[in-house]
Amino acid sequence: MIGHLNAPRSDRSRWTPWDSAPDPDGAAGPVRVYCLPHAGGSAGSYLPWARGQHQPGLRFVPVELPGRGTRLAEEPLRSMDRVVDGLLDVLAHRPADERFMLFGHSMGSQIAYETARRLASEELPMPLSVIVSGGRPPGAPAVATLHDLGDDRLMKGIVELGGTPAEVLEHQDLVDLLLPVIRADLTLLADYTTRVRPTVLPCPVVALGGADDKLAGPEWISGWRSTTAARFRHRILPGDHFFLHTHRAEVMAELAAEAADRDAPGHG
């Protein structure tokens, strides 16, 4: 049996610490949107989404990776395979009739794609759609190689690229907290970028980007078209790399529109 199906329940719950109990009638309940973080990010960045009532019909499920947030005491993972193993275990224990989507920002977009790719390869239930945000498509060159730099240069490089607010550098305690996670995440991405062999997903893909994003500009967002054999659409919103927070209402509207489209006649 595949190893990720054998993890104890306590292990699985760590990945979705703020998830509520599944609806007993999953097919009629809201679409669960599993939200994957950017490099150095935690599930906490999606808490306003999960706690708000912004989009009826959607239930946002922030995903917590080891080494941050509620899992701060754990060692950060440096392997995409290990991250996806954990997510597949969570998804494998969903109610069979529950509808879900995967949403990932920046590093999370790569995790969302790879999770969907693994679901397809293992013939497991697929998400209604994969929504990627602020990320380059698999197979695209890395923005920069930072994971093997010294601590100061790594943090300055992240700030220069727009991946972290400059104010973070003024708080050494915060830098010390973030560094191990950021270095692990960048190591994961560097390794994944060199190993990934892009395949075409059978589910729709929606790609969102920021007009002024230095990490994944509009020219990269349209490149996600090659990742799906199903429907594809993309939209560029105002803002920089973190447009998903400054233009949260528009991003949520895109998610709601995608869920509604999948509920339309002709879609299963």
User: How far, in Å, CA of 197 to CA of 69, rounded?
Assistant: 31
Active site annotation includes 106: yes
Nearest CA to 267 among 234, 235, 228, 231? Answer: 231
Positive or negative, the Cα torsion across 224, 226, 228, 231? positive
The number of angstroms, rounded, from the C-alpha of 211 to the middle of its chain's C-alpha atoms is: 20
* Calculated CA dihedral for residues 161, 165, 169, 170, nearest 10 degrees: 150
Q: Is residue 205 within 8 Å of 129, Cβ to Cβ?
A: yes
What one-letter code names the amino acid at 221?
I
Burial of 87 (0-12, 13-18, 19+ CB in 10 A): buried
Please say whether the beta carbons of 78 and 191 come within 8 A: yes
Residue 81 corresponds to which tokens in the numbers above? 């395979």
Annotated catalytic residue within 42, 45, 106, 129: 106
CB-based contact 108:135 (threshold 8 Å) = yes
Tokens of 15: 């990945």
Are 188 and 215 in contact, with CB atoms under 8 Å apart? no
If we measure between CA atoms, which residue out of 77, 72, 78, 98 comes closest to residue 17? Answer: 72
Residues catalogued as catalytic: 106
